[in-house]
Amino acid sequence: MLRRFRSEPKFSPRPKSHYFVLSLNIFVVTLMVFSGLGMLWVNGRVNQRLIVTLNNSQENPDNQTQSVNNSPTNSDVILDPKSLDAKNFLLTGSDNGSCADAKSKTTGGIGDRTSLGERSDTIMIIRIDPSSKRAAILSFPRDLWVNIAGTTRQNRINSAFKSTDPNRLVDTIEKSFGIPVDHYVNVNFCAFKEIVTAVDGVKVPFLYPTHDKKTGFSVTTPGCINFDGDRALAYVRSRSGYRYFDTTKQKWLEDPTGDLGRISRQQDFLRRSMQRALDKGSSNIGVANDLLNAALKNVITDDQLTPRGMLDLAQAMRDLNTRTVATYTIDSYPKRIGELSVLIPQIKSESMKQVLEIFQGRSPVTAQKASTHTTNNPTIVLVAKRIAIATTTTMATPETTTITTAPTTTIPTATALQKTVGVVPPDDPTCR
């Protein structure tokens, strides 16, 4: 039976500090759950999930749910044409603290949060275009200063967040940035740890020893490091305490980019998690079962994200090259408002307009060029030295893309720019 939230949930609040849980995207939660060997038995359990309702819901989920139950195998599924439409997924991360291991060295700073309100430090829009088998991620820094929908006030964007009622955040994003939201996914600490554990860890390459004493994250020996759930959580929570050892200067250096640097590492980890789930879950029924269990207990979705819709999405996107997923962040500049340190959005520039047009559906999703570098190539060292510098990459401009809808519509192509800020891992395709 679907578990719909009708009243205030018994979630433990989270601190109003920088601590973070990465919102693993819809691929990790659904792509592996609805593909490969697990498809048959998944159908009978999907309706156990936690759901909320979006005010802008237009679809009829009942018919779609029925159709997926009649599908015996993946190869027999006939895709609904509407499932090939590009869609925006709002992904948020919340910290209920219930999975923090007090004995672990990697849970630094989580602490007691009983007197603090709920906030999300992870707010992303993921645009998925099944017709072109492409996806793009747009991150919203938690301190963006925006008009909060349904009020007459301005505040940080994460003040609009409520895990079991996303509508204020949905409306705030649409009114402030012109981006519509089709579906909603919320992931908490428990889901994050269990998903990483289910895929037998996520691998991240490091060129230097790295640590964060605040979160307990530590890499003593450079190389391709396989993170378990606790260690991965400490890594993606790392912000102001992130340090790496510069072998040339023979001293520890910090990443001064704060939340923006953390967002860059989040986006990188997101791609790696997607690829790991694709590698491990599509042919292993045990992994698919563990992913499903994590999702059912700890992931909240909107009620229009139906079994049939998820299955169609998984079928259409199963050949996605995760290393070409384009990532963007809302441009901003810091400002002090009263006692608050906030970020003022800068969305009037041509480059930012082009990015927004992708997520507004006015331009097709473009692909990030996949790197062929490995850790044996010394040029990759430059990637790990992007400290407080916005490095701009011009996206490859594909031919004009025709979206298969009824009627057929041709959308002009925009050349969008990606900016990577802070210290991020090298793009090593062998570390996966």
User: Where is 302: in which H helix or E strand?
Assistant: strand 299-302
Least confident of 16-30, 40-54, 184-198, 268-282: 16-30
**Number of Cβ atoms within 10 Å of the Cβ of 306:** 23
pLDDT at 24: 42
Tell me the whole-structure pTM to 2 decimals. 0.70
**Proportion of the chain in helix, strand, coil states, percent, rounded to 5:** 30, 25, 45
Tokens standing for residue 58: 């237009």
Q: What average pLDDT is seen over the chain?
A: 72
Mean pLDDT of all residues in 353-364:
96
Domains and CATH numbers, the chain: 3-205+256-420 (3.40.630.190)
Highest mean pLDDT among 9-18, 285-294, 366-375: 285-294
DSSP assignment of 216-248: TEEE-S-EEEEE-HHHHHHHHH-STT-EEEETT
pLDDT of 119 > 90? The answer is: no
Mean pLDDT of all residues in 262-270:
84
Question: Is residue 20 a contact partner of residue 108, using CB atoms and an 8 Å limit?
Answer: no
pLDDT bracket for residue 32 (50, 70, 90): very low
Whole-Å CA distances, 38 to 41, 72, 185, 339, 425: 6, 11, 21, 52, 33
pLDDT of 1 > 90? The answer is: no
pLDDT bracket for residue 150 (50, 70, 90): very high
Mean pLDDT of all residues in 384-399:
32
Mean pLDDT of all residues in 270-297:
74
Position with higher pLDDT, 69 vs 360: 360
pLDDT bracket for residue 223 (50, 70, 90): very high
pLDDT of 131 > 70? The answer is: yes
